[in-house]
């Protein structure tokens, strides 16, 4: 085993000790195909109101622009499938990823520790960690690192852990032994495309945010498009429809991460509870969760849209 292999093996072992299911490594460099895909997507206006996606384009597609001297992109995934899910077609629904503690803080804490461990091994290493909070194409790097492939619903899919996974990156200035990209196993399946009630998956791996339930219930700060009336099912924060129907998610085991255990109070909320939700109760229920991204007024707007 040469030094590159030795350090890569060490990093992956430490990542597993920290609770990550899988760790993969890819060489830092320009993402040519992803750059073209992102450019076409932005030019078509499919980013809707997410104008921040236009910012720092070069940094999004080339980690060397983000971190001078970057040599390796270390990607990790963490399963978040909950032990309990809200059941019943009449219940208002929150995406599974938001039913526990905010993943940003959980994964950042683990990645910070991983970087500290790497620096203890080699104090000359410099780098930064990212969790959906900087211009980094997480799914593209995870796929290049062999952690899974980009499914037709644009989510990363792992053969072992499905798509209910969070992704994190650690970019460092050290050459390592690299992994091969994973094979695409979607084949001719179109279940995610067929199941989307708003037809937001307009083509293989192309999502039109203007039609997406997740966009409208989380990112959209204005009014929800009336064309979606009657099509949003009962989703008031996010949407899991395209993931729930994916064959790769049929036999996924619940996450072992305590921070991702669904809050009992959320699961027990019925439709009447949601309609009567006030700001004080909102803060009690959702403190420290990703639901805070929508804000109280945004969540109430979502509820009202379904109830009108």
Are 207 and 167 within one domain?
no
Rounded distance, CA 119 to CA 122, Å? 5
What's the mean pLDDT in 160-166?
A: 96
Q: What is the pLDDT of residue 264?
A: 87
What pairs with residue 239 in β-bridges?
none
Do the domain assignments include residue 180? no
What's the mean pLDDT in 103-115?
A: 96
Do the domain assignments include residue 94? no
Do the domain assignments include residue 283? yes
Do the domain assignments include residue 177? no
Among 85-94, 131-140, 269-278, whose mean pLDDT is lowest? 85-94
Among 245-249, 262-266, 289-293, whose mean pLDDT is lowest? 262-266
Say whether 38 sits in a helix, a strand or coil.
helix
- Could you report the per-residue pLDDT of 2-44, keeping only the tens digit for each? 989 999 999 999 999 999 999 999 999 999 999 999 999 999 9
Do the domain assignments include residue 50? yes
Do the domain assignments include residue 44? yes
120 CB-near residues (< 8 Å, 6+ apart): none
Are 259 and 142 within one domain?
no
Q: What is the pLDDT of residue 89?
A: 59
Rounded distance, CA 9 to CA 111, Å? 16
| CB-based contact 46:207 (threshold 8 Å) | yes
Q: What is the pLDDT of residue 87?
A: 62
> Which residue spans within the chain are E strands per DSSP?
22-27, 72-79, 93-94, 127-130, 149-150, 156-157, 165-172, 201-203, 206-207, 235-237
What pairs with residue 158 in β-bridges?
162
Are 27 and 156 within one domain?
yes
What value does the mean pLDDT of the chain take?
94
Numbers of helices and strands, H then E, in the chain: 13, 10
Rounded distance, CA 255 to CA 100, Å? 11
For the ranges 88-97, 256-265, 278-287, the maximum mean pLDDT occurs at 278-287
Q: What is the pLDDT of residue 50?
A: 96
| CB-based contact 18:113 (threshold 8 Å) | yes
Instruction: Output the pTM of the full model.
Output: 0.94
- Could you report the per-residue pLDDT of 135-156, keeping only the tens digit for each? 999 999 999 999 999 999 999 9
Do the domain assignments include residue 60? yes
Rounded distance, CA 230 to CA 306, Å? 7
Catalytic residue among 32, 34, 62, 132: 132
| CB-based contact 121:189 (threshold 8 Å) | no
- Domain boundaries, position 151: 3-82+99-172
Residue 88 in this model has a pLDDT that exceeds 60: no
Are 164 and 242 within one domain?
no
pLDDT higher at 254 or 239: 239
Q: What is the pLDDT of residue 56?
A: 94
Active site residue 244: no
Are 118 and 205 within one domain?
no
Residue 164 in this model has a pLDDT that exceeds 80: yes
Instruction: Look at residues 119, 113, 212 and name the one whose alpha carbon lies nearest to residue 168.
Output: 113
Are 165 and 245 within one domain?
no
- Could you report the per-residue pLDDT of 208-235, keeping only the tens digit for each? 999 999 999 999 999 999 999 999 999 9
Q: What is the pLDDT of residue 57?
A: 95
Do the domain assignments include residue 40? yes
Tokens of residue 221, six digits:
């700060």
pLDDT higher at 266 or 41: 41
Are 195 and 275 within one domain?
yes
- Could you report the per-residue pLDDT of 59-85, keeping only the tens digit for each? 999 999 999 999 999 999 999 998 877
Q: What is the pLDDT of residue 86?
A: 64
Residue 279 in this model has a pLDDT that exceeds 80: yes
What's the mean pLDDT in 108-136?
A: 94
Please state the domain count of the chain. Answer: 2
Are 196 and 259 within one domain?
yes
């Amino acid at each position: 085993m040469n030094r590159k292999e030795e350090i890569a093996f060490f990093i992956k072992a430490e990542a597993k000790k920290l609770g990550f299911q899988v760790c993969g490594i890819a060489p830092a460099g320009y993402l040519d195909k992803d750059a073209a895909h992102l450019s076409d997507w932005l030019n078509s206006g499919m980013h809707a109101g997410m104008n921040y996606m236009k910012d720092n384009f070069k940094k999004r597609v080339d980690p060397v622009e983000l971190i001078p001297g970057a040599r390796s992109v270390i990607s990790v995934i963490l399963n978040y499938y909950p032990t309990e899910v809200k059941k019943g077609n009449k219940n208002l629904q929150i995406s599974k990823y938001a039913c526990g503690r905010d993943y940003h803080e959980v994964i950042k804490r683990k990645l910070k520790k991983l970087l500290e461990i790497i620096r203890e091994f080699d104090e000359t290493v410099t780098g930064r960690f990212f969790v959906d909070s900087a211009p980094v194409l997480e799914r593209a790097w995870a796929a290049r690192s062999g952690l899974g492939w980009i499914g037709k619903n644009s989510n990363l899919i792992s053969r072992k852990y499905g798509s209910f996974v969070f992704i994190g990156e650690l970019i460092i200035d050290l050459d390592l032994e690299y992994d091969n990209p994973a094979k695409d196993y979607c084949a001719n399946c179109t279940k995610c495309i067929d199941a989307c009630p708003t037809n937001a998956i307009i083509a293989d791996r192309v999502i039109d945010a203007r039609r997406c339930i997740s966009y409208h219930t989380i990112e959209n700060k204005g009014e929800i498009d009336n064309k979606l009336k009657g099509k949003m099912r009962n989703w008031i924060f996010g949407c899991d429809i395209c993931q729930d129907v994916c064959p790769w998610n049929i036999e996924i085991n619940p996450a072992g991460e305590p921070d991702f255990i669904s809050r009992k109070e959320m699961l027990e909320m019925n439709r009447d509870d949601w309609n009567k939700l006030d700001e004080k109760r909102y803060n009690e229920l959702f403190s420290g969760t990703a639901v805070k991204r929508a804000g109280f007024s945004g969540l109430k707007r979502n509820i009202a849209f379904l109830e009108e």
